[in-house]
Amino acid sequence: MTSQRLGEARRYEEASEKRIPDEERPAFHLSPRVGWMNDPNGFSWFEGKYHLFYQYNPYEVQWGPMHWGHAVSEDLLHWEYLPAALAPDQVWDRDGCFSGSAVTLADGRQLLMYTGVVRERQADGSWADVQAQCVAAGDGVDYEKYEKNPVLDEKDIPEGGSRNDFRDPKMWQEEDGTYRCVIGNRSADGSGQILLFSSPDGFAWHYEKVLAASRNRFGRMWECPDFFPLDGKWILIVSPQDMLPSGLEYHNGNGTLCLIGDYDKKTAEYEEIANQSVDYGIDFYAPQTVLAPDGRRIMIGWLQNWDTCSHRGQRDEGWFGQMSIPRELSVRNGRLCQKPIRELERMRQNKVEYENVALSGAVRLEGVRGRRIDMELEIRQEEGCGLYRKFTVCFAQNDSYYTSVSFRPDESVLKVDRKFSGSRKAVIHQRRSKVRHEGGRLKLRVILDRFSAEIFVNDGEQVLSLVLYTVQEAEDISFIAEGTVKLDVVKYDLV
Ligand code: FRU
């Protein structure tokens, strides 16, 4: 039965999506049907399609009462909206259906698990969110919330863990058919920990153990965990709040963290080996992965960061927030690597290619322009010219605006900069990352989709993502070298 609140949201989104012209939203990055979007939720493969749900407030371009929006796709690039899946309409989730995940049940239904939020008046008169985990089962369109919700609440949290920060369950199914989930929590030391739970059927859940703990190493609360095997290792991805910077690896505020380690399923012991950022750009948070039917581990993140949401300004374009390009994950040389999903190559058209361009000063190359493009660059030293000092590519450019990526080989630093993209807000517009290169040789792949840029470095060793709201007419691209750079360019339109 569709509740009144869900029915209202469904009618509202259907009537209101029409006021957003297709050209005024991203072409192949999922954006909300209408209103506000944050985290990806319930990323899954169900009955022959990928399903992606999202944190959703249809009524405003601001965060508000959290619903789950819903879309399906066969290639993760062309999306079809389905009616909103969840609304905050029960006593146990009346102040929000926060982030969560999806699995398939033994009887073929799809199970969603999410965090139900209830604001409670405290003894001192203040208000606090209490968070518990709830489930809903359905057919891929309509979901029925379980009458015994919540299935996990404060009684299931180990001693010292906070009932106010207990959220974002990510479930998976084991080979024996039973289920596990990881949930973000804040421990007595004020920092994040990840709790592991198990269930025989998806409805009855039991606490197992603390899978990993921050002990104040990485920010405060850890949001949106995901835990999965990849290339012989186990990857734990979390999104810490309130990070302190560490070199160019981690930056202040909301960040992303990837732990690479070994996991013993019998004892459920996780041993960390290495850590790194997931994305080194400005806008990326709360990623979630799916295991594709062909075995690929594919990740999508919210292409936004809480700290920079005001960058867009107050104008109401009908939508706010978008997802990243889906990324295929692998572990290479002990690091998490990401590549845009290969399905993107089917959208490539109008190839333009330049080889061995000797560049010094600024140039534009005939045919290299556009705001929906896939562009591969390889730069290196020109023989006999010594190491160049700096290489820059500017895009989304016209006489007034541009966004740039620049590389200084002597520092091994790559920088993205959207300061001149038309933004009128004092938020972070630049970010730098250490990258690997041999004698100035570097590979970049730049994906643009109207309101975003994602820069993949050295076949996915690093990614730097950002959103930009520059007018669409700004579609020039130019290259600038200080010193002499040898440049190869392959550019496609994405159609
Ligand atoms: C992360 C997050 C989650 C929470 C959701 C609420 O961006 O804060 O922890 O479930 O957003 O919308």
pLDDT digits (tens, 9 = 90+) for 183-194: 999 999 999 999
C-alpha 125/C-alpha 116 separation (Å) is: 22
Beta strands in 203-267 (DSSP E): 206-213, 222-230, 233-240, 257-264
The verdict on 111 and 227 lying in the same domain is yes
The verdict on 407 and 490 lying in the same domain is yes
Residue 301's alpha-carbon distances to 25, 34, 322, 414, in angstroms, are: 17, 19, 9, 22
Q: Of the candidates 467, 471, 475, which has an alpha carbon nearest to the alpha carbon of residue 312?
A: 467
Domain of 316, CATH number, reads 2.115.10.20
382 DSSP assignment:
P
- Backbone region of residue 94 per phi and psi (left: phi > 0; alpha: psi in -120 to 50; beta: other values): alpha
The pair phi, psi for residue 345, each rounded to 5°, is -65, -25
The verdict on 302 and 332 lying in the same domain is yes
CB 198 within 8 A of CB 179: yes
Place of tokens 């995901």: 226
Q: Looking at ligand 1, which atom is closest to the CA of residue 63?
A: 12
CB 364 within 8 A of CB 394: no
CB 275 within 8 A of CB 336: no
Tell how far the Cα of 185 is from the centroid of ligand 1, in angstroms. Answer: 12
Q: Is the pLDDT of residue 312 over 90?
A: no
Kindly report, residue by residue over 425-453, the tens digit of the pLDDT: 999 999 999 999 999 999 999 999 999 99
Q: Is the pLDDT of residue 358 over 90?
A: yes
Last residue of a domain, one of 323, 343, 363: 343
Residues 6 or more apart in contact with residue 35 via CB below 8 angstroms:
13, 16, 56, 57, 58, 59, 60, 61, 318, 319, 320
Question: Domain total for the chain?
Answer: 2
Contacts 24+ apart (CB under 8 A), 3-9: 3/87, 3/89, 3/90, 4/89, 5/87, 5/88, 5/89, 6/67, 6/84, 6/86, 6/87, 6/89, 8/87, 9/58, 9/67, 9/84, 9/87
Q: How confident is the model at residue 109 (pLDDT cuts 50, 70, 90)?
A: very high
CB 445 within 8 A of CB 348: no
Q: How confident is the model at residue 404 (pLDDT cuts 50, 70, 90)?
A: very high
Q: Which two tokens stand for residue 235?
A: 């990857």
**Region 78-82 average pLDDT:** 98
What does DSSP say about strands 319-320 and 327-332: parallel, antiparallel, or unpaired?
Answer: unpaired
Sign for the CA dihedral angle at 138, 292, 232, 462 comes to negative
The verdict on 317 and 426 lying in the same domain is no
Q: Looking at ligand 1, which atom is closest to the CA of residue 223?
A: 9
Q: Of the candidates 127, 118, 5, 153, which has an alpha carbon nearest to the alpha carbon of residue 68?
A: 5
pLDDT above 70 covers what percent of the chain? 100
Q: How confident is the model at residue 316 (pLDDT cuts 50, 70, 90)?
A: confident
Q: Is the pLDDT of residue 314 over 70?
A: no
Kindly report, residue by residue over 154-194, the tens digit of the pLDDT: 999 999 999 999 999 999 999 999 999 999 999 999 999 99
- Domain span holding position 124: 4-343
Active-site positions read 39
Among 67, 224, 243, 309, which residue has the most ligand 1 atoms within 8 Å of its CB, making it the best to mutate?
224
Q: Supply the mean pLDDT for the chain.
A: 97
Tell how far the Cα of 218 is from the centroid of ligand 1, in angstroms. Answer: 18
Kindly report, residue by residue over 129-146, the tens digit of the pLDDT: 999 999 999 999 999 999
CB 145 within 8 A of CB 134: yes
The verdict on 131 and 274 lying in the same domain is yes
Q: In 3-state terms, what secondary structure has residue 345?
A: helix
Q: Is the pLDDT of residue 124 over 90?
A: yes
Q: In 3-state terms, what secondary structure has residue 7?
A: helix
The verdict on 56 and 102 lying in the same domain is yes
Ligand 1 environment, Cβ below 6 A? 38-39, 55, 66, 98-99, 115, 167-168, 223-224, 285-286
**Region 392-396 average pLDDT:** 98
Last residue of a domain, one of 291, 324, 343: 343
Q: In 3-state terms, what secondary structure has residue 305?
A: coil
Q: Is the pLDDT of residue 99 over 70?
A: yes
The verdict on 323 and 459 lying in the same domain is no
Domain of 431, CATH number, reads 2.60.120.560
Q: Answer whether the bond into residue 150 is a cis peptide, omega within 30°.
A: yes
Mark out the alpha helices in 239-292 (DSSP H runs): none
Sign for the CA dihedral angle at 77, 6, 172, 275 comes to positive
Residue 98's alpha-carbon distances to 24, 37, 87, in angstroms, are: 28, 12, 10
Last residue of a domain, one of 343, 359, 392: 343
Q: Of the candidates 284, 277, 272, 213, which has an alpha carbon nearest to the alpha carbon of residue 247?
A: 277
Q: In 3-state terms, what secondary structure has residue 23?
A: helix
Among 36, 37, 38, 243, which residue has the most ligand 1 atoms within 8 Å of its CB, making it the best to mutate?
38
- Looking at the chain, how many residues does it have? 495
The verdict on 428 and 288 lying in the same domain is no
Q: Is the pLDDT of residue 378 over 80?
A: yes
Amino acid symbol at 144: E
Among 53, 166, 167, 221, which residue has the most ligand 1 atoms within 8 Å of its CB, making it the best to mutate?
167
The verdict on 38 and 163 lying in the same domain is yes
Tell how far the Cα of 290 is from the centroid of ligand 1, in angstroms. Answer: 19
The verdict on 166 and 227 lying in the same domain is yes
Q: Model-level pTM?
A: 0.98
Neighbouring CB atoms inside 10 A of 356's CB total 9
Tell how far the Cα of 336 is from the centroid of ligand 1, in angstroms. Answer: 24
**Region 26-34 average pLDDT:** 98
The verdict on 296 and 417 lying in the same domain is no
Q: Which two tokens stand for residue 474?
A: 């700004």
**Region 234-262 average pLDDT:** 98
CA-closest residue to ligand 1 atom 9: 223
The verdict on 377 and 338 lying in the same domain is no
